[in-house]
Amino acid sequence: MTDTPRPTTKRLLKLAGMTARISGHAARDRWQRLWQDGSVRNAQDAALYTRIGTEIAATLGEMKGAVMKVGQVVSQYRDLLPAELVDALTRLQNDAPAQPFSAILPRLQEAFGPDLNRHFLDIEQQPIASASLAQVHRARLHNGREVVLKVQYPGVDAAVAADLKQLKVALKIARVLPVKNDILDALFREIEQSLKAELDYRIEAAAIERFRHYHADNPRIVIPAVLTELSNTRVLTLSFEPGDSLGQLDERYDQNLRNQIAATLFQALGRQLYQFGEIHCDPHPGNFAARLDGSLVIYDFGCIKKVSPHILRCYANMTRAALAGDSAAIEHGLIALGARQTEHTPALAASFYRPWLDLMQESFSEEPTDFGRFPLAERVIALSRESLPHWRAFQPVPETVMVNRALGGHYWNLRQLGAQLALRPLLHTVLPTP
């Protein structure tokens, strides 16, 4: 009798098939380029990246766990990936479909024993949230306290290394990342370390306690409490802290209240980055909720990045330079950060930075900006396209991957909130003294 392939083997076969198909697309493209002029090649590039993105999204969309999570992370790097590839990958940003309660029951019994009633009066079988690595269920303790259980899907921890390796191979073959292999390897090591930490709920529990302590001076920030005695590596029990998702606020939240919540979010993020040295790096709107008293609830501390003092200084210096419109200081800051590839392009003229600085001045103004209407993302994409001839002058900095993900993602939260904020005064409240 033939053995049934283990789930890990099935995953590898799916990913290997995806890689083979991508390799075929790339090989045909390289052959066709030999006979085509520049204008045709540009169109060919767009078509190739769309096919590759669709292939990756279709395969990863069928698979839970680390590989879908990595696809979600990769899809957010519009400054690194071709736009056509990102557009195809954005479908992975949708919440993953939930698994039936029977699928996660072994995780709960592993944590609490076969008789769950010893600890819980009841557990709702329908999850209130689901993602690529876990899902969340409401429950009630015997003393009446309402809690939530974050339950990791069985098997995802074992698939991390294999999934990441296969996806990295696919991207290398596709040649869609304009970086050296050693930098690509470093980027994936950063993602792998982040995912391994996210899969150990003891690490998340410790992070929750640190952030609760740091934000304890702000009554407008609510972070669930950890029930340590009911938590382990794969199940995390937290106090139930209800709120309305930032993407689904109704007419009860008028403009003033939306602005207040957006300001709290912006300043919390700024304090974490510039002062605390740790930042919550998963900007998914489902990880943040609003309350009618103006408070902000922050969930899911699995993806946290500790930022080195050097990186913090670089970010602060470049932020001040951008506010001052100083292109020379921006160039110096990018070189210090490691983001400027000076071997290829020793220097960039001030004229290159001017449109970006103008956009920064508009975004971080002394007067309120209506983020529900201000086309910041569209203008960034347009400027990125115009800057394509200079792409090789830049390279990603692995240590900033998760930080940039957070900063870029929270722009969309401000946009969803329809925030009308003057960001420059708020930024000055969190920037450290030079």
| Angstrom distance (rounded) from CA 164 to CA 63 | 13
CA-wise closest residue to 142 among 118, 115, 113, 125:
118
Question: What would the pLDDT profile of 63-119 be if each residue is shown by its tens digit?
Answer: 655 556 655 555 555 555 666 666 666 666 555 678 899 999 999 999 999 999 999
Q: Is 179 exposed, middle or buried (0-12, 13-18, 19+ CB in 10 A)?
A: middle
C-beta of residue 44 within 8 angstroms of C-beta of residue 88: no
pLDDT attached to residue 408: 86
Strand runs labelled E in 272-354 = 278-280, 288-290, 296-298, 304-306
C-beta of residue 372 within 8 angstroms of C-beta of residue 415: yes
Phi, psi for residue 183 in degrees, rounded to 5: -70, -40
Q: What's the angle, vertex CA 119, arms to CA 116 and CA 124, rounded to 5?
A: 60
| Angstrom distance (rounded) from CA 229 to CA 67 | 31
pLDDT attached to residue 346: 93
pLDDT attached to residue 51: 76
Question: What would the pLDDT profile of 179-220 be if each residue is shown by its tens digit?
Answer: 567 777 777 777 778 888 888 999 999 999 999 999 999 999
C-beta of residue 287 within 8 angstroms of C-beta of residue 298: yes
DSSP state at residue 116: G
Domain ranges across the chain: 243-434
| Angstrom distance (rounded) from CA 11 to CA 159 | 8
Quote the tokens at residue 139: 């429950």
| Angstrom distance (rounded) from CA 383 to CA 79 | 10
What is the secondary structure of 292-305 as a DSSP string?
TTS-EEE---SSEE
Tens digit of pLDDT at every position of the chain (434 positions): 333 334 456 666 777 777 777 777 666 665 555 444 444 445 566 677 777 767 776 776 666 555 566 555 555 555 556 666 666 666 665 556 788 999 999 999 999 999 999 999 999 999 998 877 889 999 999 999 999 999 998 877 776 666 677 667 766 655 555 556 777 777 777 777 888 888 899 999 999 999 999 999 999 999 999 999 999 999 999 999 999 998 889 999 999 999 999 999 999 999 999 999 999 998 888 899 999 999 999 999 998 999 999 999 999 999 999 999 999 999 999 999 999 989 889 999 999 999 999 999 999 999 999 999 999 888 987 888 788 788 889 988 888 988 988 898 899 899 999 999 999 999 999 999 88
Quote the tokens at residue 189: 């090591």
pLDDT attached to residue 239: 98
Mark whether 282 is an active-site residue. yes
Q: Is the C-alpha dihedral spanning 248, 253, 256, 261 positive or negative?
A: negative
- Give Rg (Cα) of the chain: 23
- Residue written as tokens 């993105």? 53
| Angstrom distance (rounded) from CA 22 to CA 209 | 44
| Angstrom distance (rounded) from CA 271 to CA 419 | 19
Angle (deg, nearest 10), helices 401-417 and 255-271: 170
User: Who's near 394: CB < 8 A, 6+ residues apart?
Assistant: 334, 339, 340, 341
Instruction: Out of 244, 282, 293, 370, pick the active-site residue.
Output: 282
Helix, strand, coil percent values for the chain (each to nearest 5): 60, 10, 30
User: Who's near 95: CB < 8 A, 6+ residues apart?
Assistant: 129, 130, 131, 286
Q: Given phi > 0 = left and psi -120 to 50 = alpha, else beta, which region is 113?
A: left
CA-wise closest residue to 147 among 231, 88, 221:
231
